[in-house]
A and B are shown apart, each in its own frame.
Chain A
Amino acid sequence: MKAKSIVALSLGLIIFSSVVFPAVQEQENELQERLRLRTRENIVTLMLLRMTRFLELTEDQTAKVYPLVTRVEKEKMEINLKIAGQMQELRMMLKEGEPDPEALQVRIQALKELRKGLGSKDAEVEAQLEEILTVVQQAKYLVFMNVFFRELRENLERARNIRGKAAPKKK
């Protein structure tokens, strides 16, 4: 009787964890995705602020660049969310024993289209910036990007240091 109940309990635990664990994993992935989008938003906001000063944008240019970049960013974010969804589905399908090649092909095609969509957004920004910015500002923009992302990496290092200090010391 006792052995039977242990077996039943173990089986119950296994079934429970097999249902709960993927759900928890799914939720974690979603949270991670949201966090990533927020990071991206903040990075772009900081980029726009720094860019305004570095490129000495005029009021007129700022009025054109800000809405352009924020709109395209929003559109890109939506595409990125769809890409994340497709990737998630791909992962799930590949976890299955024998995934259906046709279904995989549909996902691959969808991902291709989404990535093309991202490319077209880049093309749009590229064309607009060429119109809005002077040649000197375009050159400055390229230099600025280099400096800005170096600074971001330094920020990441600062974040690592903060975590290092916050971690409890081993005795």
Chain B
Amino acid sequence: MRCKTIEKWLSDRIDGELSERKIKSLQAHLERCPSCRSYAAALEKIQDEARSIERLEVSPSFWEEFTSRLRSDLSSKKQEKRLERPLVKRWRWAGASAALTLLIVVGLYFLLFFEKPVPEMYVFSYEDSLAQIYREIGRDPELETLFNLVVLASIGESLEGAGWQDSAGFQESSLLWENLSEEELKLIESEIKKEEKIEEESHEG
């Protein structure tokens, strides 16, 4: 058995908290171990001397005073301890709080002011307006052909308004003749014939 255990058992025996079985084991050990025996003797001596000390009568006011003194001592010790805390340790906390604050501020900035990159918009682009026209036309070839003719008529009006029909280059204008379909050419031809007929009639008249 380890002597450390025996020392504890000796203390327990004084307090009357050791079982019968353990007392027997303790006795057996003490008979074998001189070191534990001397420790037990010393303990008994201390106990005997403690018993012989006269019991002091203490007034309740003493305990009150003692408690308040103890409290004030403890609080001053705490304060001293706080002041004695290493400067580096305090700065570490300050640094951590500053970093956290910075992190929150940057996070809020990005959240509130930093917009997601949006595709660039071109104000001069007419793609959207064209797309809207196409949507309105839909997949209707007949309507689209008619619309094309109306647009062509507008081109003709525009050229007329600009006085281009009087210029020598009007009939060769690539803007007017390029990419005209057979249908459109026929329409223009019939319109020209109508105009010529009206002109002839007016001359006759």
The answer to whether A and B interact is yes
**Interface residue count for A (Cβ, 8 Å)?**
40
Contact B136 A156 (CB under 8 A): yes
Stretch from B26-34, B51-59, B123-131 at the A interface: B123-131
Contacts of B144 in A (CB 8 A): 35-36, 39
Contact B148 A45 (CB under 8 A): no
> Is B139 an interface position by the 8 A CB rule?
yes
B-contact bits for A128-152, CB 8 A (1 contact / 0 none) = 0100000000100110010001011
Contact A162 B124 (CB under 8 A): no
Contact B155 A155 (CB under 8 A): no
B126, chain A: closest CB distance, angstroms? 6
Of all chain A residues, the one with the shortest Cβ separation from B127 is A122
Contact B141 A149 (CB under 8 A): no
Contacts of A45 in B (CB 8 A): 155, 175
A-contact bits for B144-159, CB 8 A (1 contact / 0 none) = 1111111110110011
Stretch from A9-17, A46-54, A92-100, A102-110 at the B interface: A46-54
Q: Is the interface of B mostly helix, strand, loop or mixed?
A: helix
Contact A125 B159 (CB under 8 A): no
- Of B123, B136, B142, B151, which is within 8 A of A43 by CB? B151
Taking A32-B139, A43-B130, A126-B122 as given, write out 4 further A-B residue pairs in contact, using a Cβ cutoff of 8 Å, ordered by the A residue number. Answer: A31-B141, A47-B126, A49-B159, A162-B146
Residue ranges of A at the interface with B (Cβ–Cβ < 8 Å): 31-32, 35-36, 38-43, 45-50, 52-53, 118-119, 122-123, 125-126, 129, 138, 141-142, 145, 149, 151-153, 155-156, 158-160, 162-163
A-B pairs with beta carbons under 8 Å apart, 26 shown: A38-B179, A39-B144, A39-B148, A42-B151, A43-B133, A45-B155, A48-B175, A50-B158, A53-B158, A118-B127, A119-B120, A122-B124, A126-B122, A126-B123, A126-B124, A142-B123, A142-B124, A145-B124, A149-B132, A152-B129, A156-B136, A156-B137, A158-B150, A159-B143, A159-B149, A162-B146
